[in-house]
């Protein structure tokens, strides 16, 4: 088993919106925006993104992120929840993603939902709710055309998608 403790030749770069403190010597934390990554083309052997792309508020922003992932990584592995899975994974509320925006905002203003505490301020609640845009299979596939697509299942339903590319199969 390989350890990622700096004793090998693996280096890891974390990209976050805010400063993070790496816990290992071979980890570098970078502050940046996934829609405009300030790195050279093919800078990384592997780009890994888990449940991030759905936090881009519009499809156009998701297109930009996908383009950056494909641009900077020789290989990539990107996961996102399925829009059509019955339990919305951020708010942990059945079919939340299908309610009108106004209803979702009202629910967050009045209840703790999943990872989010009750947010009485309407503008803040609207920003949180609008900041999560789940993708369906066709939308996700279009972002990573040419990639293999894996469907993670739960009780026979597709819970999430993984697009991966660059590995010889």
- Write the DSSP symbol of residue 107: H
Across the chain, which distance is largest between two alpha carbons, in Å? 52
pLDDT of 2 reads 53
β-bridge pairing 44-50 and 73-81:
parallel
Each residue's pLDDT tens digit, 46-74: 999 999 999 998 999 999 999 999 999 99
Query: Residue 166, class by beta-carbon neighbours within 10 Å (0-12 exposed, 13-18 middle, 19+ buried)?
Result: middle
Write the pLDDT tens digit of every residue in 143-165: 999 999 999 999 999 999 999 99
- Predicted pLDDT of residue 11: 87
- For the chain, what are the domain ranges? 33-86+132-169, 91-131
d(CA 162, CA 92): 21
Assign 4 a pLDDT band (cuts: 50, 70, 90): low
CB of 29 closer than 8 Å to CB of 22: yes
Q: For residue 162, what are its two tokens? A: 């993984």
What Å distances lie between residue 93 and 55, 85, 88, 132, CA to CA? 17, 11, 6, 14
Q: What's the pTM? A: 0.88
Please list the helix, strand and coil fractions of the chain in percent, rounded to the nearest 5, in that order.
Answer: 25, 30, 40
| Residue 80 clears pLDDT 80, i.e. is over it | yes
**What distances in angstroms separate CA 126 from CA 43, 60, 87, 93, one per listed residue?**
36, 19, 20, 16
The predicted-structure confidence for 5-17, as pLDDT tens digits, reads as follows: 656 678 888 898 9
- Superfamily classification of domain 33-86+132-169: Vaccinia Virus protein VP39 (3.40.50.150)
pLDDT digits (tens, 9 = 90+) for 93-130: 999 999 999 999 999 999 999 999 999 999 999 999 99
What confidence tier does 169 reach under pLDDT thresholds 50, 70, 90?
Answer: low
Residue with tokens 């996908």: 66
Contacts of 83 (CB under 8 A, 6+ apart): 97, 134, 135, 136, 139
Nearest to 32 by CA among 99, 23, 43: 43
């Amino acid at each position: 088993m390989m350890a990622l403790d700096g004793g090998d030749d693996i280096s890891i770069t974390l990209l976050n919106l805010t400063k993070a403190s790496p816990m290992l010597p071979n980890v570098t934390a970078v502050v940046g925006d996934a829609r405009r990554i300030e790195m050279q083309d093919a800078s990384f052997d592997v780009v890994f993104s888990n449940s991030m792309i759905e936090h881009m508020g519009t499809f156009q922003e998701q297109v930009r992120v996908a383009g950056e992932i494909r641009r900077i990584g020789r290989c990539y592995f990107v996961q996102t929840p399925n829009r059509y899975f019955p339990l919305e994974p951020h708010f942990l509320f059945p079919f939340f993603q299908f309610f009108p925006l106004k209803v979702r905002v009202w629910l967050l203003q009045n209840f703790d939902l999943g990872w989010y505490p009750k947010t009485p301020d309407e503008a803040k609640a609207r920003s949180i709710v609008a900041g999560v845009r789940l993708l369906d299979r066709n939308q996700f596939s279009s972002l990573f055309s040419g990639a293999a697509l894996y469907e993670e299942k739960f009780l026979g339903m597709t819970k999430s998608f993984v697009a991966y590319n660059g590995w010889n199969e």
